[in-house]
Chain A
Amino acid sequence: MTRHRKFLAGGAVILAALAYLIYAGLTQSAVYFITPSELQAAPVTGKAYRLGGMVLPGSVEWNPATLDLAFALSDGKASVPVRHRGTAPDLFGEGRGAVVEGSWTGDGYFKASQIMAKHSEDYKAPHGNPGDASYRDLLRTLKKDGTAR
């Protein structure tokens, strides 16, 4: 019986350790997901958030030399300026959904450490989409001036 109790006690210690592990993990690593209006209503400086919205058309500024990217995320009611260092993911684009992880700086912008762009769920016409003509154009220029092939 005492042996039985010992094992039960051991199990309880293990369970408690696990519960603590999860609790500590959640309090330290879980990140709240907020919308631009929620952020603007109550901006907390320095706290990690995930901010989700639509990339406002016309707002994207990209400086290749310094790798500085600036854009605004909007939820239709409010928009938040976002800054990031580095190239955006392929799916990132104006008028599309994006989620950024980072924090509000207090200097009037949200500093993003990571950008997660979303796949658009719309069904796309198989051919002749707007991007089509412009990239054919691009290929022509590159084939003319390009180095290989």
Chain B
Amino acid sequence: MIPEIGTGALAVGAALALYGGVAAAVGAGTGRSALIASAQHAALAVFALVTGCFLLLAYAFLTFDFSVRYVAIQTNLATPFYYRITAVWGALEGSILLWAWMLTLYTLVMVLRHRAQRDLYPWALAVMLGIVAFFLVVMTIPAPPFERLTPVPPDGRGLNPLLEDTGMITHPVALYLGFTGFSVPFAFALAALITGRVGDAWIATTRRWTIIAWYFLSLGLLIGGWWSYHVLGWGGYWAWDPVENAAFMPWLTGTAFLHSAMIQERRRMLKLWNISLVILTFGLTIFGTFLTRSGVIASVHAFSQGSIGAFFLSFLALVLLGAFGLLAWRWDRLRADGELDSVLSRESAFLLNNLALVAAAFTVFFGTVFPLLSEAVRGVKVSVGAPFFNQVNVPLFLALIFLMGVGPLIAWRRASVENLTRNFLGPVAVGTGAAAVLWLVGVRSTLAVLTLGLTVFTAGTMALDFSRAARARMRGGLGLLPAMATVLRRHNRRYGGFAIHFGILIIALGVTGSQAWSVQTEATLRPGETVRLAGYAVRFDGLSAAQDSTHAKVIGTFTVSNGRGEATVMRPTKKFYPQEQSPIAGVDYRMGLREDLYLVLGDFARDGSQATVKALVNRLVSWIWIGGLVLTLGALLAIIPDDKRA
């Protein structure tokens, strides 16, 4: 009975969302408040219905209702409580439900925050409800989460073992909050086009929304990297996998938008560009869903499923045609009021930053779809892997790090020589000095020297600016810490942005270190034998076995000692799940600020007489996660309400 209620609720929700969208649009067009109020009620009801569906699906998981096909595929009787909850969004149908739920949540918050507005908001509400309606239709036709399975199996298949991980609760949730969050700026941008009020109102309204969406998307990407690092057992955190790319592209264009919006706020330029970026970012989130869920590409993440690809592709076409059609219609209103005065100006630095970000998004897009195009057009199968993406993106990312140092300090309009020397002479000296020191201590990777030199330069500009601001407050009689706190509070947008930049620099440090200096080795050992790597001695002590609730595992015991004579025991495993044909590696690692030691158990003799182990020393990887933390703090600082006393 419960599954039927769920199916019914989704269909009713789809109809209500569609009604609400039309009512809001008509209400906005004719100015009839009653219709807008009715649309708001519909939005509320849709939120309640989708929340209900989510709870019903969770209930089906908790009670092992294997008559629901999705539950039977995603769990079995051995799946622990905790993972039965995360299994709700572990595959196609449930992930669309989570997506739709977040959309309705954002819609609800939008209603609560903006309902007093009468210019842009009613149209934005109409757009949001239209998007919600699409996702609910998807769950009614091509991806029904509550579909029955007959005959009812006695037990389910069980969760994909790779998803039995804490990262799996947070990774999709953060990522989807990011993806769906960009719907709000998109909805307001369309509202601006429809009403012709393409000035700054929509930018000001959506500033916080954009930061929140951007932050969650960043967090989702980072948690994905963390999951890949400690679950997949290859020692890496980013593989330029098509689905990673699908999430990275809207991040790049979203980042570009965050920056170009500031130019519009300050200089009334880039109106056309900003609206295009928001449309593009939203379009890329839908394109990403299409890539992931249509089965057009093979990937670790891809869940393939029949007709759903056609639904997403049609929706994407509708969104892009509609949005760019509106843009063309409003073309004459999108002229810039201000103009670019000089190449040496903040506007120009931001413009270059935008070009680099959009260029990166384009190369990632191109590399991701090139194999599809090549096969379709030339009939030749080509694979475009990490080497392509690294080669093309590294110069762009280096340029971005440099611009990150220049942009916030260079003068608006036209920078004078005095402005340039005052702000950049010191940081350039420090950055060059750092590069020279690295070279002298024997670092011979040009890329690493260049990246770290640029990173130090940019960190130097931030330190310079922040210390100037703090010193100004100290002259007003404040102590050092209160002065710093006041600066952060009064200029929270600026220094929140700085903190985010600093987080990115720390991540760049981690990425550079791990790419340039990580080492690995592999060896087959008998008990008592040792393999050495980068100052570590890894001694194989023996194999043992254990049974967990969902799987059995073979455990390799290794005693690891470092050069300083400290020893620790590490236990990488191989896990055997009854529902899987292959074992799955359970990595063991010791994290450190300088380096992580990472052990993966490979093949082993069944009598325990020998085992193959892969040992990796991954340098500076921890800084990636630390950078994520700093970025989080910065995002929090940037979205707190402005201090009016400033």
Instruction: Judge whether A120 and B581 touch: CB under 8 Å.
Output: yes
In the complex the two chains form, what is the Cα distance from A25 to B191 in whole Å?
Answer: 40
In the complex the two chains form, what is the Cα distance from A47 to B554 in whole Å?
Answer: 40
A44 — which chain B residues lie within 8 A by C-beta? none
A124 — which chain B residues lie within 8 A by C-beta? 157, 579-581
Q: CB within 8 A of B606: which of A14, A118, A141?
A: A141
What secondary structure prevails in chain B residues at the interface with A? mixed
Instruction: Judge whether A142 and B155 touch: CB under 8 Å.
Output: no
Instruction: Judge whether B543 and A142 touch: CB under 8 Å.
Output: yes
Q: Which of B390-408 contact A (CB under 8 A)?
A: 391-392, 395-396
Instruction: Judge whether B388 and A25 touch: CB under 8 Å.
Output: yes
Q: Which of B324-363 contact A (CB under 8 A)?
A: 340, 343, 355, 359, 362-363
B195 at the A/B interface (Cβ < 8 Å)? no
B547 at the A/B interface (Cβ < 8 Å)? yes
A121 — which chain B residues lie within 8 A by C-beta? 304
In the complex the two chains form, what is the Cα distance from A64 to B396 in whole Å?
Answer: 43
Instruction: Judge whether B581 and A149 touch: CB under 8 Å.
Output: no
In the complex the two chains form, what is the Cα distance from A100 to B629 in whole Å?
Answer: 37
A146 at the A/B interface (Cβ < 8 Å)? yes
Known: A62-B603, A67-B524. Is A146-B542 also a contact (CB below 8 A)? Answer: yes
By beta carbon, the residue of chain A nearest B300 is A119
B583 at the A/B interface (Cβ < 8 Å)? yes
Instruction: Judge whether A126 and B612 touch: CB under 8 Å.
Output: no
Q: CB within 8 A of B581: which of A6, A129, A148?
A: A129
Instruction: Judge whether B157 and A138 touch: CB under 8 Å.
Output: no
B381 — which chain A residues lie within 8 A by C-beta? 32-34
B471 at the A/B interface (Cβ < 8 Å)? no
Instruction: Judge whether A126 and B544 touch: CB under 8 Å.
Output: no
Instruction: Judge whether A30 and B546 touch: CB under 8 Å.
Output: no
A139 — which chain B residues lie within 8 A by C-beta? 545, 547, 552, 554
In the complex the two chains form, what is the Cα distance from A123 to B581 in whole Å?
Answer: 11
B541 — which chain A residues lie within 8 A by C-beta? 147
B146 at the A/B interface (Cβ < 8 Å)? no
CB distance from B186 to the nearest CB of A (A): 26
A28 at the A/B interface (Cβ < 8 Å)? yes
In the complex the two chains form, what is the Cα distance from A50 to B233 in whole Å?
Answer: 22
Q: CB within 8 A of A21: which of B380, B395, B582?
A: B395
B370 at the A/B interface (Cβ < 8 Å)? yes
In the complex the two chains form, what is the Cα distance from A124 to B577 in whole Å?
Answer: 12
In the complex the two chains form, what is the Cα distance from A100 to B339 in whole Å?
Answer: 53
B236 — which chain A residues lie within 8 A by C-beta? none
CB distance from A44 to the nearest CB of B (A): 14
Known: A67-B612, A87-B612. Is A126-B578 also a contact (CB below 8 A)? Answer: yes
Instruction: Judge whether B384 and A30 touch: CB under 8 Å.
Output: yes
Known: A29-B391, A90-B582, A90-B584. Is A135-B576 also a contact (CB below 8 A)? Answer: yes
Q: Which of A1-48 contact B (CB under 8 A)?
A: 3, 6-7, 10, 14, 18, 21-22, 24-26, 28-34
In the complex the two chains form, what is the Cα distance from A59 to B392 in whole Å?
Answer: 39
In the complex the two chains form, what is the Cα distance from A90 to B584 in whole Å?
Answer: 6
CB distance from A144 to the nearest CB of B (A): 9
A7 — which chain B residues lie within 8 A by C-beta? 340
Instruction: Judge whether A64 and B582 touch: CB under 8 Å.
Output: no
Q: CB within 8 A of A147: which of B233, B367, B546, B557?
A: B557
In the complex the two chains form, what is the Cα distance from A56 to B445 in whole Å?
Answer: 42
B547 — which chain A residues lie within 8 A by C-beta? 139
A101 — which chain B residues lie within 8 A by C-beta? 383, 385
In the complex the two chains form, what is the Cα distance from A132 to B581 in whole Å?
Answer: 9
A136 — which chain B residues lie within 8 A by C-beta? 552
Q: CB within 8 A of A129: which of B155, B343, B388, B578?
A: B578
Q: CB within 8 A of A87: which of B158, B370, B522, B584?
A: B522
A146 — which chain B residues lie within 8 A by C-beta? 542-545, 608
Q: Which of B54-99 contact A (CB under 8 A)?
A: 76
In the complex the two chains form, what is the Cα distance from A91 to B382 in whole Å?
Answer: 23
Q: CB within 8 A of A65: which of B363, B388, B524, B545?
A: B524
Known: A123-B157, A139-B545. Is A50-B557 also a contact (CB below 8 A)? Answer: no
A-B contact count (CB 8 A): 151
Known: A21-B363, A30-B384, A139-B545. Is A64-B612 also a contact (CB below 8 A)? Answer: yes
A145 at the A/B interface (Cβ < 8 Å)? yes
- Kindly supply a per-residue 1/0 record for chain B positions 544-574, scoring 1 wherever the CB is within 8 Å of any chain A CB and 0 otherwise: 1111000010110100000000000000001
CB distance from B306 to the nearest CB of A (A): 13
Q: CB within 8 A of B605: which of A21, A64, A143?
A: A64
By beta carbon, the residue of chain B nearest A6 is B343
B298 — which chain A residues lie within 8 A by C-beta? 118
Known: A25-B391, A90-B584. Is A33-B579 also a contact (CB below 8 A)? Answer: no
Known: A33-B381, A64-B605, A143-B545. Is A131-B370 also a contact (CB below 8 A)? Answer: no
Q: Which of B287-322 contact A (CB under 8 A)?
A: 298, 304
A93 at the A/B interface (Cβ < 8 Å)? yes
Instruction: Judge whether A132 and B578 touch: CB under 8 Å.
Output: yes
Instruction: Judge whether B363 and A22 touch: CB under 8 Å.
Output: yes
In the complex the two chains form, what is the Cα distance from A90 to B156 in whole Å?
Answer: 23
CB distance from A120 to the nearest CB of B (A): 6
A127 at the A/B interface (Cβ < 8 Å)? yes
By beta carbon, the residue of chain B nearest A97 is B298
Instruction: Judge whether A29 and B384 touch: CB under 8 Å.
Output: yes
A81 at the A/B interface (Cβ < 8 Å)? no
In the complex the two chains form, what is the Cα distance from A25 to B381 in whole Å?
Answer: 17
In the complex the two chains form, what is the Cα distance from A121 to B554 in whole Å?
Answer: 26
Instruction: Judge whether A90 and B392 touch: CB under 8 Å.
Output: no
Known: A50-B383, A126-B76, A147-B557. Is A21-B581 also a contact (CB below 8 A)? Answer: no
Q: Which of B576-623 contact A (CB under 8 A)?
A: 576, 578-585, 602-603, 605-608, 610, 612, 614
Instruction: Judge whether A126 and B382 touch: CB under 8 Å.
Output: no
A129 — which chain B residues lie within 8 A by C-beta? 578-579, 581
Instruction: Judge whether B524 and A93 touch: CB under 8 Å.
Output: no
B426 at the A/B interface (Cβ < 8 Å)? no
Instruction: Judge whether B543 and A90 touch: CB under 8 Å.
Output: no
In the complex the two chains form, what is the Cα distance from A123 to B580 in whole Å?
Answer: 10
Instruction: Judge whether A29 and B388 touch: CB under 8 Å.
Output: yes
By beta carbon, the residue of chain A nearest B388 is A29
CB distance from A114 to the nearest CB of B (A): 9
B433 at the A/B interface (Cβ < 8 Å)? no
In the complex the two chains form, what is the Cα distance from A6 to B341 in whole Å?
Answer: 12
Known: A129-B581, A145-B607. Is A86-B522 also a contact (CB below 8 A)? Answer: yes
A123 — which chain B residues lie within 8 A by C-beta? 157
* 5 closest A-B pairs by CB: A146-B544, A87-B602, A33-B381, A147-B542, A142-B545
Q: Chain A: residues with CB nearer than 8 A to chain B?
A: 3, 6-7, 10, 14, 18, 21-22, 24-26, 28-34, 50, 62, 64-65, 67, 86-87, 90-93, 96, 101, 117-118, 120-121, 123-124, 126-127, 129, 131-132, 135-136, 138-139, 141-143, 145-149
> Could you list 10 examples of A-B contacts with CB < 8 Å?
A21-B392, A21-B395, A26-B388, A30-B383, A64-B612, A118-B298, A124-B580, A126-B155, A132-B578, A138-B554
Q: A25-B367, A65-B524, A90-B582 are in contact. List 11 more A-B contacts (CB 8 A).
A: A22-B363, A25-B392, A29-B384, A29-B391, A32-B383, A33-B382, A67-B612, A91-B582, A93-B582, A123-B157, A124-B581
